[in-house]
Structure 1
């Protein structure tokens, strides 16, 4: 199945067109859905969440564990645990409906002897119950991932399995989550053998600004660098909705979004749908926010948002175990200059892997299936993790 969707992610054929036999999985994989309770530090609520555990069939004793943090999904159910739909032999996976990024991680890691544990996140998946997601909300995200990892390890224990080494991996939103998760584990003294991130957002205030005004970040000499795509506007709405809900910024849509776009934002935040006439009302990201949002004081709530985004950044951290930042040199959602400060500040264990010609999706795909030619002489996350055991 991974081979089926490889071409979908391999935009502009940056990687070889053929899904190489060397990428074939060594094990069949068993998928399990687990549930657990998590606490939302920002609000004090306790919430039930779902997650996926993927195991190599026939595993015994100790095996390496991968905590996988998925990227942005502009739906409520495109989550890791919904891959259990594959239990229906007639079910057909679809792009933008199913968690194909999780499928690739399962194929590469669980298919090669790892246990993969993947949170669906708060406000996502079968246990959503109408709750808004906690997109880029630090405390809720970190606690959810920690609680899911604990629940996943308990599931392994009930099956007579145990962890030999712990690895973290995440793409896009999940790359930010992975940095947060590693940093919190470091604070708590939890050993992580290594972490990998792809398209790693880290400075939220700067990334938020970039999405709205990319030309202020892209050097004038880079005339062909791709601009942020149309799906950035829905991402901005989800970010604002999440911060309104979890940080108590109750009037944020009214203070931050231009009046003519507030109805669209409310509608999209409620249903994540661009069906029908809604699609006609999506503004360009550059026109979503009130004038002067990043240039001067506009409203107290807007200033509070920017301060919170600053506090939630992951850029400036001294890592105590190896971490790789895979970043695309043609990533339409994240310019390389927004990645490099985290690498420079991360200490001797931090390393960047530029991916030649890579879009947002290709950056992720290359981290799993690329070779030294596209990975600047470096290895895939799987091969790198294997070398550290």
Structure 2
């Protein structure tokens, strides 16, 4: 459900062990950089490079900007002050280093590497974790199509978050790495997604609002200079109760209304149910958790992600998707197991030892500010919450990248902040 999260990694990590990028197809091995862990050689290759000009990036962002800023909380994209300063080289990364927690499979993982053409051997690395994508192929590595002048980037709305990160970071002298996640991308091979499944997503550098990945890296001795999070739902159990209407938060001070829950939350919950059934070995979870009238629809949606095929007159919302027994006493072992796992996967009890910023919108239709401030308060002295007035879910993400102190409660945007740390 989160849609924008990044970590500025220490230069000692570089590009998962890559200190140089050689043109053309490259193959080799990656050594595990985590302290206290045995080296685990893994095969990988970088596919042929694709060049995207700064002008092309700016043009694509200009077209896409209004799709995220629907309430016009920002002045708009200005290429003279927010434009790309470098052309960018994009390349697919393919590695077979991942053994999936819970299933034991060893899988090939795909992702994107974006590097400014002016890069030398010492550039800072931003690890970008994309948010919820209700599609199998609109993933970061899909952005290599940008080099095709006939490719209309706005047709791939779920890839626009990565576009913004490429234009903002890679075109301004950062390397950007972004995983496609298990169950997505060109090597999906029919595998189900591991949506908000902690072990599997952390292994592929994709994680619940980046907090899981931050915790995993720090626990293994990897330095992180700074972390930025947009629209985080850190407590899955609390989030599901909010989306189901079991928890109602008070109206934020100073606001006269708050937006209703987004229609796309129900499909996200369906994908989560399918993921937990698959990766936590809970057969039949979908069938028992979903109301009878929506079970067939839910099973079909989990298989094809085709939201457009859902009849609006008979579509569930987040408050009526789950069976009546879901929040009552134990009526099914798998439902109880799901709820225990949601609680275990919470990311609200971590004390951060490097700067982390939580950007949250005051008109977010999926994440109430009460869901964010609790995590910020528990995070310690390095955690800061940044509220974005009038911002929807998407606009919060956009403001974090392109906003200024006027829209970010006096704070600077993530690019400026990362530049000060790099």
Which runs of 5 or more structure 2 residues have no equivalent in the other structure?
1-59
Q: CA RMSD in A?
A: 1.7
The residue aligned with 2:120 is 60
CA-to-aligned-CA distance 1:148-170 (integer Å, 9 cap, x gap): xxxxxxxxxxxxxxxxxxxxxxx
Distance across 2 between alignment mates of 1:266 and 1:360: 27
Are the aligned partners of 1:82 and 1:98 in contact in 2 as well (CA < 8 Å)?
Answer: no
Are the aligned partners of 1:175 and 1:201 in contact in 2 as well (CA < 8 Å)?
Answer: no
Distance across 1 between alignment mates of 2:375 and 2:64: 31
The residue aligned with 1:45 is 105
Indicate whether 1:341 and 2:374 are aligned.
yes
- Decide which of 278, 281, 284 is 1:245's aligned counterpart: 278
The 5-angstrom pairing of residues 78-97 of structure 1 reads 78-97=138-157
Which runs of 5 or more structure 1 residues have no equivalent in the other structure?
146-173
Distance across 2 between alignment mates of 1:339 and 1:275: 31
Give the ranges of 4+ consecutive aligned residues of structure 1 lying more than 6 Å apart after TM superposition.
none
Structure 2 SS opposite 1:62: coil
The residue aligned with 1:11 is 70
Aligned residues, how many?
Answer: 361
- Decide which of 102, 125, 132 is 2:192's aligned counterpart: 132
Q: What TM-score does the superposition give when structure 1 sets the normalisation length? A: 0.89
Distance across 2 between alignment mates of 1:16 and 1:80: 27
Distance across 2 between alignment mates of 1:263 and 1:314: 32
The residue aligned with 1:150 is none
The residue aligned with 1:204 is 236
The 5-angstrom pairing of residues 128-167 of structure 1 reads 128-145=188-205
The residue aligned with 2:403 is 370
Distance across 1 between alignment mates of 2:293 and 2:322: 10
CA-to-aligned-CA distance 1:38-59 (integer Å, 9 cap, x gap): 1211222111111000010121
The residue aligned with 1:323 is 356
Are the aligned partners of 1:355 and 1:374 in contact in 2 as well (CA < 8 Å)?
Answer: yes
Give the stretch that moved more between structures: 19-28 or 64-73.
Answer: 19-28
Q: What TM-score does the superposition give when structure 2 sets the normalisation length? A: 0.82
Distance across 2 between alignment mates of 1:199 and 1:52: 23
Indicate whether 1:107 and 2:161 are aligned.
no
Distance change in 2, residues 1:209/1:63 (3 Å): same
The residue aligned with 1:151 is none
Distance across 2 between alignment mates of 1:298 and 1:194: 44
CA-to-aligned-CA distance 1:119-140 (integer Å, 9 cap, x gap): 0000001111001100000000
CA-to-aligned-CA distance 1:81-119 (integer Å, 9 cap, x gap): 011122322111124445100000000100100000000
CA apart distance, 1:179: 0.5
Are the aligned partners of 2:126 and 2:174 in contact in 1 as well (CA < 8 Å)?
Answer: yes
The 5-angstrom pairing of residues 216-295 of structure 1 reads 216-219=248-251, 224-276=257-309, 278-295=311-328
